[in-house]
Structure 1
């Protein structure tokens, strides 16, 4: 099997020689170039598993080569070597399409880790590795066929090839951790750990120890050596959820760990190298946090190299049916899945979901507990008032044909139970007569309140008899009465 070939582009002969020796010891073939023109000539003649270029060359800038390789040789990762402390150059290169970067003086252990990561990507992109690529698009945890979701999944596949930090933004409950896991699953690091950390849930006094680990005896209670999040995610992906909640002192330490790619355990005297792909997430506006002095600008630029925005659920209401089916199938387990009635589905489509997909999951899980015969009706959803979509976004289902009226004896006898079709027809008629200016949810609440109150009055507020007539359990009836503000006794 032919060894992968690496192209090193640098005008410093000593550094080129050092890099060549290191790469050859790794069992790789190496070509060298001292300028952009020579690099372009080499690229035209050979296929490379990695291009490593300096940012400053005699006949131009390395970022020019980054753009050319990213456009013309899409399966060839390219990394850059930047001067010490030149953060802006590194960020610019990553945004231009660079796979990764190294800072001068080059640390050989970091070089080896970076080359190994690049070759894993190259292997995954090759025809032989394509069949073994992890997590195909069809297996994405991000459910939906709307245009915004298809575009989101395409973005994830593209940026999964890079080592550049990704900042995921989106409202609470929109699925930021799912997106981070999808990025990891499509990357060459899929067989390595994925560690998700909620930055807002860690006490400030314990943050350094939790992130970087500690040595035995470093503080009271440190009875053994322990690794931190960075060590646990070594070789894989570290997700910093709610990163805006990090206190400023921890932001300084995190910035150094990202820049140096080395961490020091609490109580240790030496640092250790870590190879981690960082993904951050927050529902807050980080740029505003920077302006307010709550978040360091330099850390913001290091984390926000690539921004991935997750759309709120109200921007992709066409996905409600697919999402609901997937959630109900998961909640039902091995049993027969609970389903939504057509009117319940329309009610969900007319709701704004301030809590996004997480709220949809909660609504459906609660509704399953009240559903009869495995079918969720509108009343089972118990959607919050005041969170409906504007009337022009709501589609009210057509009024079904009225059912035949029940016999008079059935209506007058307290012990008899009207058929479900009668109640449905009565509700449908009331919906058709309701004011068109109200939302669908408000109209259905009004209908349900009228039907329940009339039934209670017919049995003198005997809840057991009313529940039997309505085809509900007493618990379901009591819950509906509380939600609709129906008094428990005759007034």
Structure 2
């Protein structure tokens, strides 16, 4: 669907090339394009005539775009607003959406992509009126490290901004180190409960015998050592938010009681008979596949449905490698460096972007801090960074090491070494490096029964015998077992 021609679009940016680009592309589509180099000039033009779409930069001389956005909203009514920003951080995204923006673009961007966004906003404005927006001031970012210009992180920012003001439970998923606890804190910080308590707990860190006491409290004499009554976290957080990290490790009996809190706003303290009311928003996080937990009977299906009213999935760092320079910039500035460009040479940054970062953002932050100590003020070298973290051998899927990630990491290391002369050579190296482990694991599973192993591997018995000879694997069993 396309928009009707003749829309009036106001572009406010102090970069003449940006204004010229928008003017050229949008005018070709039949629109009238007005430009301004400051918020004040833009407000004057917005007051003089009807504006169908506003494209507004954040960094401007005088008042910045976010500060001026409420006044623009008053001037243009319900017309859609597209914010342009060079800052890939959560606070800017939330401020833009809460201030009345319909969409935002992260610089640098292709003008053709920006033009498509503008057309989409015009189509949307023709189909439905935009809702009213909350223009309340936002709290400062504090120590949050949720930054990123990648499409995946921009989508995360959008979801946080859109769900923060709702009362729905939120389930945050993602590998270890991706920043789930930061997302939870950001949701609370930008919610209507922002002035109330925010309590975070990781039940996995507690023994099963004290989890319910911590969450729901207990009465005096409820158990040995309960000399006094004690309030639980849900009672302490009444009116605010509770963040339950690693929710997948919660005992089944406790899951039933948590479901009661979410559905009825009620709980019972340990040792008590009467129910108590509480008004809390539950935010949960996990690095596990809870659907598998439902199948394994270790996680309640009804609880999963209630928790995942809103789901936010955080991407692993290896899926947003373009954000690594931005994250390094953030960490280095917190350490007192003027910028990443003055500390990390391009060739070192390229090597960092090539790593798989199984520990995700947490591992990158620790690596940057380690390198800053080793460099002692000089330019960073690759040797200043610690050896990349390897995935755990057991349960590696829960530790963020997917099989494709392992293969990708190995391949990048081989290519960066410069020793691969042909793709066939690279493929052969991968097979030779991985097939012995595959054979060992399968033969261990079959207790050395090579006939059963061949069947599981989907290969002829003679092929398996040849492979074992090639890799000089002596794993027990005999050819008699293959007859």
- 2:121 is matched with none
- 1:130 is matched with 135
User: TM-score, normalising length from structure 1?
Assistant: 0.51
The 2-side partners of 1:235 and 1:173 are apart by 29
- 2:374 is matched with 370
- 2:363 is matched with 359
Distance 1:131 1:139, change over 3 A: farther
- 1:199 is matched with 203
Offset of residue 223 of structure 1: 2.4
Offset of residue 210 of structure 1: 0.6
Aligned pair partner of 2:283 in 279, 285, 291: 279
Offset of residue 164 of structure 1: 1.0
User: TM-score, normalising length from structure 2?
Assistant: 0.52
Offset of residue 300 of structure 1: 1.2
Contact map agreement 1:329 1:338 (CA 8 A) in 2: no
Q: Deviations over 1:355-414 (max 9, x none)?
A: 100111222222222114332211111333886647679997xxxxxxxxxxxxxxxxxx
Offset of residue 214 of structure 1: 1.3
Q: Secondary structure at the match of 1:375?
A: coil
Distance 1:338 1:231, change over 3 A: farther
Q: Which runs of 5+ in 2 are unaligned?
A: 1-77, 79-130, 391-405, 423-483
- 2:237 is matched with 233
The 2-side partners of 1:394 and 1:339 are apart by 27
Q: Deviations over 1:81-122 (max 9, x none)?
A: xxxxxxxxxxxxxxxxxxxxxxxxxxxxxxxxxxxxxxxxxx
The 2-side partners of 1:186 and 1:370 are apart by 38
Contact map agreement 1:213 1:229 (CA 8 A) in 2: yes
The 1-side partners of 2:317 and 2:293 are apart by 25
Tell me, yes or no, if structure 1 residue 310 matches structure 2 residue 314: yes
The 1-side partners of 2:340 and 2:312 are apart by 37
In terms of Rg, which structure is larger? 1
The 1-side partners of 2:144 and 2:158 are apart by 11
Q: Secondary structure at the match of 2:230?
A: coil
Q: Secondary structure at the match of 1:346?
A: helix
Tell me, yes or no, if structure 1 residue 165 matches structure 2 residue 169: yes
Offset of residue 305 of structure 1: 1.4
The 1-side partners of 2:340 and 2:374 are apart by 16
Tell me, yes or no, if structure 1 residue 181 matches structure 2 residue 165: no
1:15-34 maps to which residues of 2 (within 5 A)?
Answer: none
Offset of residue 321 of structure 1: 0.9
Contact map agreement 2:169 2:310 (CA 8 A) in 1: yes
The 2-side partners of 1:234 and 1:385 are apart by 40
The 2-side partners of 1:155 and 1:327 are apart by 24
Q: Deviations over 1:169-222 (max 9, x none)?
A: 111111101111111111111111111110211110111111101122222222
- 2:254 is matched with 250
Distance 1:372 1:235, change over 3 A: same
Q: Secondary structure at the match of 1:324?
A: helix
Aligned pair partner of 2:303 in 283, 299, 319: 299
How many aligned positions are there?
Answer: 277
- 1:435 is matched with 419
Contact map agreement 2:257 2:267 (CA 8 A) in 1: no
Distance 1:383 1:139, change over 3 A: closer
Contact map agreement 1:169 1:281 (CA 8 A) in 2: yes
The 2-side partners of 1:135 and 1:151 are apart by 21
Q: Secondary structure at the match of 1:326?
A: helix
Distance 1:394 1:345, change over 3 A: farther
The 2-side partners of 1:220 and 1:130 are apart by 52
1:27-426 maps to which residues of 2 (within 5 A)?
Answer: 130-134=135-139, 141-332=145-336, 339-384=343-388, 389=409
Distance 1:344 1:235, change over 3 A: same
Distance 1:393 1:435, change over 3 A: closer
Q: Secondary structure at the match of 1:208?
A: helix
The 2-side partners of 1:228 and 1:333 are apart by 43
Offset of residue 318 of structure 1: 0.8
Q: Secondary structure at the match of 1:183?
A: helix
Distance 1:298 1:340, change over 3 A: same
RMSD: 3.2
Contact map agreement 1:391 1:437 (CA 8 A) in 2: no
